[in-house]
Amino acid sequence: MIQIPFNEEIAASAALSMVLEAASYPKPGNVHRLQDFKDTSFEHFLASALSVQSVFMKSAAGSGDSDLPAFGPLFYEAVLKSMSLQSGGNTHFGTLILLLPLTIAAGHVFETAGNESCSPKEIGNAVVLKASEICRTTTVEDAVCFYETFGTLSIPVQKPEKGMKDYELDLTESAAIEKIKLEEIPLFDLMALGSRRDMVAAEWVNGFEKSKKFAKKLQKNKAWFEENPKKCFKSTINSAVVYTFLEFLAKYPDTFIAAKHGEAESLRVQKKAAKLMKKLKKSKNLKKMIPKIQKFDQKLQKEKNNPGSLADITAAGIFIAILEGLTI
């Protein structure tokens, strides 16, 4: 049997999580295999996922606590590489914010575990704990890399309200980098400030809480669809990802929608998803509900309401689930 180096396995799993997120359909409001955006296609997402695999191999190389790969330079490289094979622009900015600490942590856990017998669940928990520690110990240099990376893209952000502590550290302000250097502000502190209005940043602060929940629900839903194949839409993994995504969209207002269209709009979309999910939960017959889900998808596409933050959490949740034994 071929022994695959653990960093290659981790990198392949991270890229696979990005592919599965993009390919699962119909996830309302997102690019998927039957839905493109005007300037960004499904193929752009696939190319992006494949192009960053080499960065994941670096991040998952494994090392001692004192010599872990730095998040900032890896993030900068990953975002640029994600656009190197495709012309669809930014596809995975938020996803990489989550997956890079997780892959760094996975490399460390796999290396230090050695020959110890650990259950997949124990590995998953250890990776999330280590990823949270990595986020909390990010540096000023990481913050500078993050802001420099952001400056190369056009990403909508919710403007901080005047009077808030982070007002002068607006992501769209070029002076922010000088302020970071002058006041020696580490990246985690900036994520903490942004966590009130950005659910991806909140994952750093809250120990990847939603990503962990997604992984748990995904495993549970996949097992259920395997036992009830007649209620699947396409494969069991497609059904599980779509169903779990809808559960989250029904529960959490998406902050990417809020950044583009305001909080009221993100709440409206959440309530629409909750209404749809209420009908779906009665029978869990995803196949039967597909016409209604597709109609919801088409409405969000027309409104340009893209739940991009939940898509990022979906990819991170899939990755954690893979570490915990999820197969396709």
CB-based contact 234:16 (threshold 8 Å): no
pLDDT tens-digit readout, 104-120: 999 999 988 765 678 88
CATH architecture of 6-209: Orthogonal Bundle (1.10)
162-172 mean pLDDT: 50
Residue 222 corresponds to which tokens in the numbers above? 């996949």
Question: What distances in angstroms separate CA 277 from CA 50, 139, 248, 254, 257, one per listed residue?
Answer: 33, 41, 10, 16, 19
Residue spans per domain, the chain:
6-209, 221-307
pLDDT tens-digit readout, 261-289: 999 999 999 999 999 999 999 889 999 99
pLDDT of residue 78: 96
User: Which is nearest to 53 in space by CA: 30, 86, 19, 4?
Assistant: 19
Q: Which residues 6+ apart lie within 8 Å of 323 measured at CB?
A: 13, 106, 120, 123, 124, 127
In whole angstroms, give the CA distance from residue 276 to residue 102: 32
pLDDT tens-digit readout, 27-67: 999 999 999 999 999 999 999 999 999 999 999 997 766 68
Give yes or no for residue 130 having a pLDDT over 50: yes
Between 129-138, 168-177, 245-254, the lowest mean confidence (pLDDT) is in: 168-177
Give yes or no for residue 311 having a pLDDT over 80: yes
pLDDT tens-digit readout, 214-249: 999 999 999 999 999 999 999 999 999 999 999 999
Question: What distances in angstroms separate CA 171 from CA 136, 155, 156, 232, 312, one per listed residue?
Answer: 20, 10, 10, 42, 19
Confidence of residue 159 (pLDDT cuts 50, 70, 90): low
Question: What distances in angstroms separate CA 159 from CA 130, 186, 199, 202, one per listed residue?
Answer: 31, 21, 15, 16
pLDDT tens-digit readout, 63-100: 766 689 999 999 999 999 999 989 998 899 999 999 99
